[in-house]
Amino acid sequence: MSEATGMQAPPMLLAFDDEWTLAARVAQALGWRVCEVQRHGFPDGETRLRLPPHLPACVALLRGLQQPNAKLTELLLAAAGARELGARRLALVSPYLAYMRQDIAFTPGEVVSQRQLGRLLAAAFECVMTVDPHLHRVTTLDEVVPGRRGVTLSAAPLLGDWVAQQVPGALLVAPDEEAEQWVAAAARGPGLAYLVSHKQRLGDHEVQVSVPAADVSGRAVVLLDDVASTGRTLVDAACTLRVRGAATVDVAVTHGLFVGDALQRLQAAGVRHVWSTDSVPHASNCVSVAPLLAQALAEWAVPPV
């Protein structure tokens, strides 16, 4: 509380320098103050963090978890520090949430990374927000962060609108069955047609994609997925579509990780344009998730009754 006014200080958004552009957009939409989590790296690999010395009771921390192994220690330290500096309600805004794929042990002794990361985040935050998490056998983010509030947002409708503007009448194609939920959501608003492909994974870097026997000849096709990592699935799908006579093939994804030479491989496969949201900073960013995050934060920041 402010002694001068007797009113609670407004919420604050904390962010790291490498995600400042998105954080500034979110804060501007909310009318919140945004402050940087300052970092200093020591020669031995440790990091010193510095937060604003006096935090309001309601604080949100924006941190995407691409390259998660390098970021999780800093994230958990920042969350603990925020508590000591005055935060009573703490939300994690993680546009890209890592370690969501492994939700069961496929062989005896495997660590179920989704479950363990979820428990860590639940211990640090009252609320975890993310965009298009890769949930398969788990249906809601609430299950991932036990006892806490999980908020799942989707950029698929935003991507669908973007595609409709750039390629009117495009045929949307899901590169595998798991992507059907996003392609269906993207197609719904602008009324685009879509197909769902079948994927057979042969290894970490080898997949085989089968496109349904529909006529794609002469069509402008856009492959749409939640995440592009190595890009192998999209590359194989693009090659198949080109062989089947697609006039053009473009790619739209929520999370553009594009590991290694993924982007170059897509271009070599005949992909014309690659579009992504700014959930992960990348040169292909064309659609912002800031409005989604701002709306969700505004709803969360309302004090509980």
CB 252 within 8 A of CB 281: no
Instruction: Give the CATH number of domain 12-154+289-301; options: 3.50.50.60, 3.40.50.1390, 3.40.50.1860, 3.40.50.2020.
Output: 3.40.50.2020
Please determine, for residue 2, whether its predicted confidence score (pLDDT) is greater than 50.
no
Whole-number Å distance between alpha carbons of 278 and 26: 12
pLDDT-derived band of residue 142, with 50, 70 and 90 as boundaries? very high
Nearest to 45 by CA among 74, 15, 81, 14: 74
Decide yes or no: CATH 3.40.50.720 for domain 156-286.
no
Please determine, for residue 6, whether its predicted confidence score (pLDDT) is greater than 60.
no
Whole-number Å distance between alpha carbons of 95 and 90: 16
Q: How far is CA 69 from CA 66, 83, 98, 105, 174, in A?
A: 9, 23, 10, 20, 29
Q: What is the pLDDT of residue 208?
A: 59
Residue type (1 letter), 154? S
What's 211-246 look like in SS3?
A: CCCCCCCCCEEEEEEEEECCCHHHHHHHHHHHHCCC
pLDDT tens-digit profile of 260-278?
999 999 999 999 999 999 9
Q: How far is CA 9 from CA 5, 82, 93, 138, 305, in A?
A: 10, 15, 20, 37, 18
Q: What is the pLDDT of residue 209?
A: 61
Phi (first) and psi of residue 242, to 5 degrees: -65, -40
Quick one: average pLDDT of 178-188?
95
Predicted TM-score (pTM) of the model is 0.91
pLDDT tens-digit profile of 21-43?
999 999 999 999 999 999 999 99
* Active-site residue identified among 25, 134, 148, 199: 199
Q: Supply 141's token pair.
A: 């983010």
Known active-site residue 199:
yes
Please determine, for residue 3, whether its predicted confidence score (pLDDT) is greater than 60.
no
Cross-strand partners of 227:
255
Q: Please, where in the chain does CATH 3.40.50.2020 lie?
A: 12-154+289-301, 156-286
